[in-house]
Structure 1
Amino acid sequence: MARPNEEVEALLEEYADLIAVTGGDAFKARAYEKAARAIGGYPADVSRLDIKGLKEIPGVGRSIAEKVIEYVRTGKVTAVEERRARIPAGVRQLITIPTLGPKKAMALYEDLHISSVGELADAIKAKRLRDLKGFGEKTEENILHGIALMQQVGERFLLSTAMEPAEDIVTELSRITGCENCAYAGSLRRTKETIGDIDILVAAERSAPFMDALTELPSTAEVIAHGQKKTSIRTVTGIQVDLRVVRPESWGAGLQYFTGSKAHNIRTRTIAVHLGLKLSEYGLFETEGGKRIASRSEREVYARLGLPWIPPTLREDRGEIEAGLRGELPEVVTEGDIKGDLHTHTDLTDGLAPLEEMVTAAAERGYAYYAVTDHAPNLYMQRMTDEKVLAQRELVRSLDGRQHGMRLLHGTELNIGPNGEVDWPGEFLQSFDICVASVHSHFNLGREAMTRRIVRACENPHINVIGHPTTRLLGRRHGIDADLDEVFAAGARTGTALEINAQPERLDLGDEDILRARSHGAKFAIDTDAHSVRHLAYLRYGLGTAQRGWLTSEDVINTWPLRRLRRFLRKDRAD
């Protein structure tokens, strides 16, 4: 089930949109947006807090706290219901389109009576929007991009959105008497960036107790099918869950079968046929006679096919079968390899927790080092100044090594301007331990200009990491138009790492881009871009994406010992 914090976050974000649509105070709408974000990232369960505890959350005053209490007690908020009633359902649907703001959605409804995504697409094709104030050809293009993003994602969910209910269900089913094994499989186990549905597999002698239990979980909103071999439900968050139960002796074969992509499974079944065998979810059998020869573990099944065990994240038929047959399968990077996080934020800019809390949480993860990289001054809304960042540096230095010996790096996240310029001059940047540089604006530059912009950032001797290199937001914003191969080559040539941003809505670079960048010899940093203590746990999603890109610990700079990392960060600058 969704955490109460996330439910409240979504509700307050909706309320902010409703305020904007109905012509409410813009300052009030922004206040609710800020409070929503703070609640979503707050470590404590807001459903267990009273008014006083809620007011300790940044940006949450008495009025917002009272609405949270009301929601926890009743499941709804009167003020939100009243605002919803003032706005047609069609307008609320239009608001969900990326690139279309609340005010424009209301204008479309009032002036052109558009109340659905389909009607909007038709109106754009007929060029009906161009006569409206504030609309034009460029606006139409942006809205069509937004509609395309919605359709591209469709009924798919972010990896993180699917992971939480999957883990909850596995935990609940594992408690049932007779369960010998239970795990999620499918695209979730392969850590794809978006998930269509959740596959759960159980090993047990009897299936009925598990099938019944799934339908009775509090998170189950709808039972789609209820049978002995397969049961499907839909959760309260709209995700379909398919449960299958196999006998314990078939566990390995079942897990292999329900994890691999369709293309990967075709390859393994083809290998089996060439060996005179038949592979199914029940086991690996001799074609003649039907004797089962492997099934209890995935390793056993792969070994009988002449292959090493293939990590789930590689099972996409992108060369893993051939590499396995040649004995050249990579040892992909794991969580145990990670020695630190190189891109994080505090409440000095847009983070939710003070420096001391972030450092303590990082130390508890067992890191050897940890970088603080708050935003630089050109991201004006963050109000960073030279004085503030230098004062933070003094605090960082005072905390260095005090938490389990973890070393602290003082850094910054710079803004890459349209011409590749960044916030501070070289002599000031030289005093930072690490500089991440990211594109935060001017997303629509032409391909040549955008490529030149990022290459120049790579060539800056003080920039160590290009943050979220394509700027994409899954389901909300396409990546920038740039010659990425030229960018990847520049990163390799200049000793500038490319970030794998672990924020679930980013996962940027994505796996296919990682594969391309790796072929150029680029190095990578798997970072959480954490804006709260909870975000530090997003590392798992960045790791999964890195594994899908075939990365080893040698490819990832924050798996290296601090001494080696510091040499890399110098970029061969003279002392």
Structure 2
Amino acid sequence: MARPNEEVEALLQEYADLIAITRGDAIKARAYEKAARAIGGHPSDVSHLDVKGLRDIPGVGKSIAEKVTEYFRTGRVSAVEETRSRIPAGVRELITIPTLGPKKAMTLYQDLHISSIDELADAIHAEKLRDLRGFGEKTEENILHGIALMQQAGDRILLNVAMDTAEDIVAELSRTSGCERCAYAGSLRRMKETIGDIDVLVAADRSAPFMAALTGLPLTAEVIAHGGKKTSIRTTKGLQIDLRVVPPDSWGAGLQYFSGSKAHNIRTRTIAVRRGLKLSEYGLFDAESGQQIASRSEEEVYARLDLPWIPPTLREDRGEIEAGIKGELPALVTERDIRGDLHTHTDLTDGLAPLEEMVRAAAARGYAYYAVTDHAPNLYMQQMTDAKILAQRERIRELDGKHRRMRLLHGTELNIDPDGEVDWPQDFLEGFDICLASVHSHFNLSRKEMTRRLVRACENPHVNVIGHPTTRLIGKRQGIDADWDEVFAVCARTGTALEVNAQPDRLDLCDEDILSAKRYGVKFAIDTDAHSTVTLAHLRYGVGTAQRGWLTKDDVINTWPLQRLRRFLRKGRTT
């Protein structure tokens, strides 16, 4: 996604929040929210569009288009600035708390004069919120939990935001004269779900040109440290970048060292010591003579430790060393292995692009098959009906095989009710090629009730995949509480796959849950849950998460040939 689109999306969403805080027109606030999503999901860079071009984007009217062009012309929007000025900064800080909406934030400020997160926490502990209209003990618990989520996230950012920045920097430094190799390392290379800072490694004989290039980038807001071996900057978005330059002969050792994790590196250094060797970022050396033994490639370093090359996504000291010694490292699933996406949306419900555009974009990715899974009717705001979904099915059948012979599957994302039931009756569900079922509401059921809810959904003979199973939103909403061991066992027994949702703010299931479910023999689907053509590219983050969970091609149903996938989707039904 083009970064200007993201900037506008954030600005329009903020304006929608500001309208809500000031108790402005709710319809106007929703219009700005809709426009924010539409621009964020637009496939081309909106900074190159004029008012007329912006108005061609669904949901973007004349007033919004003019604000967008004003932003790119001046770097600000006067209406947003004026609205900001009427709201205390503390209130704007409060609305960043997950679970606390704009209206409640303004109530807290007006009735209790609360204008900071610390003041809010103190008021909750003093039980001052309970007498306010719309608040109560449960609300207090939710707000405290939201504060805890914020504190847990700290300064860490989502994987896709870090990846965009890292790839831009690597591209810039790679063009610098004298660069032999350049790559990002650290937790980003290991595809962790959030990133604290970005490590970039360069192999070159001279470091000065690269240190100067980094500090001179337009995105550099502050130089934290500047040296011959390491330079650190802070970007205009507040992200720290650490650049290290190593001699070309040390590239492999440097990449292995700076990729981490710390626990994995301790294990490899321990193995080296036992062999009379010393491992550092500059190479593998004989401990007595100091002679360099290996350093040019990671494969060479691992081989001299009697280990196979270990994929970065496994380097967390979770058994990868032992598996490598035994020759039992898994052949991890890759993005190239994915034959199709099984969870996507169109503008028939809450997607941003028409069916035809989504199909064309999927075909351009080289998929063998592709599923359209718009929301079912119990998610009432999507206004789905039987007639609408049947009309979509007819159009999908018309398009089937017309784009690079890609086969189309007609599916739906069902809603799992509190009792475990789903939207449509069994005979209607029979007409779909694939049915996902997801929890979209009632997140606070008891552990027993939530477990029963998920188990009943898995036991439905038409439910093929449980979508974003824990419902978490990273840094915003904790996952639901269930007996996941019981759920995993039922998934394995019923032939119900679990989704690895590739949306960067979900990555659900997470790597640890994937590892647990895999032990039960569960199968998985790596899906994008794409709501626009742009977000089909988020597949890479789902694959990275799946790799961290040690998944292979055989574990993932959408790496299978269509015939094998269709057999799985029948879920044992004989009709």
Give the TM-score taking structure 1 as reference length. 0.99
Residue 500 of structure 2: SS of its match in structure 1? strand
Q: Percent identity?
A: 80
Gaps of 5+ in 2: none
Structure 2 residue 253 is the aligned partner of structure 1 residue 229: no
Match of 2:526 in 1: 526
Structure 2 residue 472 is the aligned partner of structure 1 residue 483: no
Whole-Å separation in 2 of the counterparts to 1:233 and 1:260 = 21
Bigger Cα displacement from structure 2, 117-126 vs 523-532 = 117-126
Structure 2 residue 144 is the aligned partner of structure 1 residue 135: no
Q: Which amino acid aligns with 1:470?
A: T
Structure 2 residue 249 is the aligned partner of structure 1 residue 249: yes
- Give the Å deviation of 1:103: 1.1
Match of 1:502 in 2: 502
Whole-Å separation in 2 of the counterparts to 1:274 and 1:57 = 63
Match of 2:361 in 1: 361
Q: Which amino acid aligns with 1:508?
A: D
How does 1:140-151 map onto structure 2 within 5 Å? Answer: 140-151=140-151
Residue 515 of structure 1: SS of its match in structure 2? helix
Whole-Å separation in 1 of the counterparts to 2:487 and 2:37 = 33
Residue 388 of structure 2: SS of its match in structure 1? helix
Match of 1:67 in 2: 67
Match of 2:183 in 1: 183
Kept in 2: contact 1:2–1:237 (CA 8 A): no
Q: Which amino acid aligns with 2:182?
A: C
Q: Deviations over 1:298-352 (max 9, x none)?
A: 0000000000000000000000000000000000000111100000000110000
Match of 2:412 in 1: 412
Match of 2:273 in 1: 273
Match of 1:163 in 2: 163
Residue 499 of structure 2: SS of its match in structure 1? strand
Match of 2:204 in 1: 204
Kept in 2: contact 1:197–1:241 (CA 8 A): yes
Whole-Å separation in 2 of the counterparts to 1:164 and 1:44 = 16
How does 1:357-396 map onto structure 2 within 5 Å? Answer: 357-396=357-396
Whole-Å separation in 2 of the counterparts to 1:107 and 1:357 = 43
Q: Deviations over 1:84-125 (max 9, x none)?
A: 000011110001000111111111112211111111111111
- Give the Å deviation of 1:131: 2.0
Q: Deviations over 1:8-44 (max 9, x none)?
A: 0000000001001111011111110111011101001
Q: Which amino acid aligns with 2:329?
A: L
Kept in 1: contact 2:129–2:140 (CA 8 A): yes
Structure 2 residue 539 is the aligned partner of structure 1 residue 539: yes
- Give the Å deviation of 1:549: 0.1
Residue 145 of structure 1: SS of its match in structure 2? helix
Whole-Å separation in 1 of the counterparts to 2:38 and 2:478 = 26
Q: Which amino acid aligns with 2:366?
A: G
Match of 1:305 in 2: 305
Match of 1:570 in 2: 570
Match of 2:38 in 1: 38
Kept in 2: contact 1:2–1:165 (CA 8 A): no
Residue 129 of structure 1: SS of its match in structure 2? coil
- Give the Å deviation of 1:251: 0.2
RMSD between superposed Cα atoms in Å: 0.8
Match of 1:401 in 2: 401
Whole-Å separation in 2 of the counterparts to 1:133 and 1:341 = 45
Q: Which amino acid aligns with 2:397?
A: R
Whole-Å separation in 1 of the counterparts to 2:104 and 2:359 = 42
Residue 201 of structure 1: SS of its match in structure 2? strand
Structure 2 residue 465 is the aligned partner of structure 1 residue 465: yes
Structure 2 residue 106 is the aligned partner of structure 1 residue 93: no
Kept in 2: contact 1:411–1:432 (CA 8 A): yes
Kept in 2: contact 1:524–1:556 (CA 8 A): yes
Residue 131 of structure 1: SS of its match in structure 2? coil
- Give the Å deviation of 1:135: 1.3
Whole-Å separation in 2 of the counterparts to 1:263 and 1:572 = 44
Whole-Å separation in 2 of the counterparts to 1:146 and 1:188 = 26
Whole-Å separation in 1 of the counterparts to 2:465 and 2:104 = 37
Whole-Å separation in 1 of the counterparts to 2:132 and 2:385 = 41
Q: Deviations over 1:421-452 (max 9, x none)?
A: 10000000001000000000000111001000
Match of 1:57 in 2: 57
Residue 388 of structure 1: SS of its match in structure 2? helix
Q: Which amino acid aligns with 1:113?
A: H
Q: Which amino acid aligns with 2:367?
A: Y
Whole-Å separation in 1 of the counterparts to 2:409 and 2:124 = 50
Match of 2:26 in 1: 26
- Give the Å deviation of 1:499: 0.1
Kept in 1: contact 2:162–2:198 (CA 8 A): yes
Whole-Å separation in 2 of the counterparts to 1:338 and 1:21 = 44
Residue 405 of structure 2: SS of its match in structure 1? coil
Match of 1:511 in 2: 511
- Give the Å deviation of 1:574: 1.1
Bigger Cα displacement from structure 2, 106-115 vs 454-463 = 106-115
Structure 2 residue 279 is the aligned partner of structure 1 residue 286: no
Kept in 2: contact 1:2–1:164 (CA 8 A): no
Over 6 Å off, 4+ runs? none
Kept in 1: contact 2:2–2:45 (CA 8 A): no
Q: Which amino acid aligns with 1:326?
A: K
- Give the Å deviation of 1:2: 6.9
- Give the Å deviation of 1:519: 0.4
Kept in 2: contact 1:511–1:546 (CA 8 A): yes
Whole-Å separation in 2 of the counterparts to 1:419 and 1:224 = 54
Match of 1:333 in 2: 333
Q: Deviations over 1:212-253 (max 9, x none)?
A: 110110111111111111100111111100000000000000
Q: Which amino acid aligns with 1:509?
A: L
Q: Which amino acid aligns with 2:546?
A: A
Whole-Å separation in 2 of the counterparts to 1:527 and 1:393 = 20
Whole-Å separation in 2 of the counterparts to 1:434 and 1:134 = 41
Q: Deviations over 1:344-379 (max 9, x none)?
A: 000110000011111111011110000000000000
Residue 550 of structure 1: SS of its match in structure 2? coil
Gaps of 5+ in 1: none
Whole-Å separation in 1 of the counterparts to 2:307 and 2:236 = 40
Whole-Å separation in 2 of the counterparts to 1:522 and 1:365 = 27
Whole-Å separation in 1 of the counterparts to 2:131 and 2:400 = 60
- Count residues with an aligned counterpart: 575
Residue 130 of structure 2: SS of its match in structure 1? helix
Residue 500 of structure 1: SS of its match in structure 2? strand
